[in-house]
Amino acid sequence: MILSIESSCDDSSIAVTEIATKKLLFHKKISQELDHAKYGGVVPELAARLHATALPRILEQTKPFFPDLKAVAVTNAPGLAVTLVEGVTMAKALAIALDLPLIGVNHLHGHIYSLFLERESAFPMTVLLVSGGHTQVIDAKGYKDFSLIAQTMDDSFGESFDKVAKMLGLGYPGGPIVEAYAQKGDENRFDFTVPLANSGKIAFSYSGLKNQVRLQIAALGEEISDQDRYDICASFQRVATAHLLQKLKKIFKTRTISDFAIVGGASANLYLREKIEALCGEFGASLHLAPLAYCSDNAAMIGRCGIEGYLRGDFTDYRELVSSPRSAL
């Protein structure tokens, strides 16, 4: 079995997975959403302090598995510097105490392996990663064989939902709230422009759209009604998704893609899933998705990726395992 730890942002999570069968034997996650909600975003130092109490509480429950552990996997990049170190320190301590090898897992690789929970991996695949920190299209050929096709030039898709929710005073994380508000709104009421619509560039940008929403909220002023909020969320979600679709269409036209996947916290968005399903249908590609419960950050996906490292002997000496907040794919 492999024990895995995730603490790159505001979720404290530990999993135990059987190496041979990939079966998830234990998975627990303590989310800090309520603790950060009043700030409209994650406060790194607060998140780190909460990990310091939550992770040991979860670890306690995994003690019965200790005799059967073969390795410890941990997210070591990218993420918030002060929260990554909480998981990495725990992983190192465990590896030394139980005399186990350590596997540092790139968080983005982990999201890709959320597609292969409790099953064998299957590559090649073109993957859209939409999370709070990233918006990327990745050419995924195999274990650690990932290259970037496109990425955002500024804010990420998920982050733009968080910012819109914050501007409307709706709380954190914004993604699920904005999606729920959008369901009650008229998506054609506000005519926000689709970012980079007239640019041939294969890249994403959300800062301009965020600003359009900000100006619209200001124009509505103090009189803003609930219906206005629903309509803003619906119009914003339509344009944010249309932007992804326009650029993805260009990518589909220039490459042969038979298997396409969406991963990351924002891949739980049902509006996005529906639109991308139609796009895949248009180009004859199969769409792969992670189970809804494992789209956002979790240790199960880190363990699943860690198993691939274990099977290849891809270990890191504990003295050399460092957390790298800005690490790329």
Residue 173's binding partner among Zn ion, ligand KG4, none (Cβ under 5 to 8 angstroms by kind) is ligand KG4
Bridge partners of 11? 31
Q: What part of residues 86-145 is at the interface with Zn ion (CB under 5 A)?
A: 131
| Cβ 313 to Zn ion shortest distance, Å | 26
* 3 state SS of 25: strand
Residue from 7, 297, 299, 302 that binds Zn ion (CB under 5 A)? Answer: 297
297 touches ligand KG4 (CB under 6 A) = yes
Find out whether 51 and 89 touch, Cβ atoms under 8 Å. Answer: no
Nearer to ligand KG4, 79 or 101 (CB): 79
Long-range pairs for 41-46 at CB < 8 Å and ≥24 separation?
41/162, 41/166, 41/172, 42/9, 42/10, 42/80, 42/172, 44/80, 44/81, 44/82, 44/83, 45/82
Residue 121, number of CB atoms within 10 A of its CB? 17
| Cβ 265 to Zn ion shortest distance, Å | 6
Which whole-number Å values give the CA distances from 51 to 69, 83, 131, 265, in the listed order? 23, 7, 20, 19
Nearer to ligand KG4, 155 or 308 (CB): 155
Query: Cβ neighbours of residue 113 under 8 Å, at least 6 residues apart?
Result: 121, 301, 302, 304, 305, 308
Nearer to Zn ion, 162 or 297 (CB): 297
CA 69 to chain centre: 27
| Cβ 45 to ligand KG4 shortest distance, Å | 18
Q: What part of residues 108-167 is at the interface with ligand KG4 (CB under 6 A)?
A: 131-133, 158-159, 161-162
| Cβ 320 to ligand KG4 shortest distance, Å | 24
Nearer to ligand KG4, 163 or 247 (CB): 163
Nearer to ligand KG4, 71 or 130 (CB): 130
251 touches ligand KG4 (CB under 6 A) = no
Query: For helices 226-254 and 157-167, what crossing angle results, to 10°?
Result: 170
Number of H helices, E strands in the chain: 10, 10
Nearer to ligand KG4, 55 or 71 (CB): 55
Which residues contact ligand KG4 by CB under 6 A? Answer: 9, 131-133, 158-159, 161-162, 173-176, 179, 264-266, 268-269, 296-297
Which residues contact Zn ion by CB under 5 A? Answer: 131, 297
